[in-house]
Amino acid sequence: MIAQISSGSITGVVQDTQGAIIPGAQVTLINQDQGVEARQTITNEAGIYLFSALPAASYTVTVELPGFKTYKKTDVKLFVNDKLGLPAIQLEVGSQAESITVEAQAVQLETVSGERSGVVTGRQMADIALNGRNLTALFKTVPGAPADAGLGMPTINGQRNNQTNFTVDGQTFTDSGVNNPINFGYRLSMDSVAEFKVSTTGQSAEFGRNSGAQIQVATRQGTQEFHGGGYYFKREEGW
Q: Is the pLDDT of residue 4 over 60?
A: no
The pLDDT, as a whole number, for residue 69 is 94
Domain 8-103 has CATH 2.60.40.10: yes
pLDDT digits (tens, 9 = 90+) for 153-182: 667 777 777 777 888 887 877 665 655 545
Among 13-17, 24-28, 141-145, the range scoring the smallest mean pLDDT is 141-145
Q: What is the pLDDT of residue 119?
A: 86
The highest-level CATH class for domain 116-219 is mainly beta
Question: Does 82 or 44 have the greater pLDDT score?
Answer: 44
Statement: residue 23 has pLDDT above 80: yes
Domain locations along the chain? 8-103, 116-219
What string of DSSP letters covers the chain? -------EEEEEEEEETTS-B-TT-EEEEEETTTTEEEEEEE--TTSEEEEEEEPSEEEEEEEE-TTB-EEEEEEEEE-TT-EEEPPPEEEPBS-TTSEEEEEPPSS----S---EEEEE-HHHHHHS--TTS-GGGGGGGSTTS-TT--SS---GGG--GGG-EEEETTEE-S-TTT--THHHHTTS-GGGEEEEEEEEE---TT--S-SS-EEEEEE----SS-----------TT-
Q: How confident is the model at residue 1 (pLDDT cuts 50, 70, 90)?
A: very low
Q: 65-88 pLDDT, tens per residue?
A: 999 999 999 999 998 888 899 999
pLDDT of amino acid 24: 96
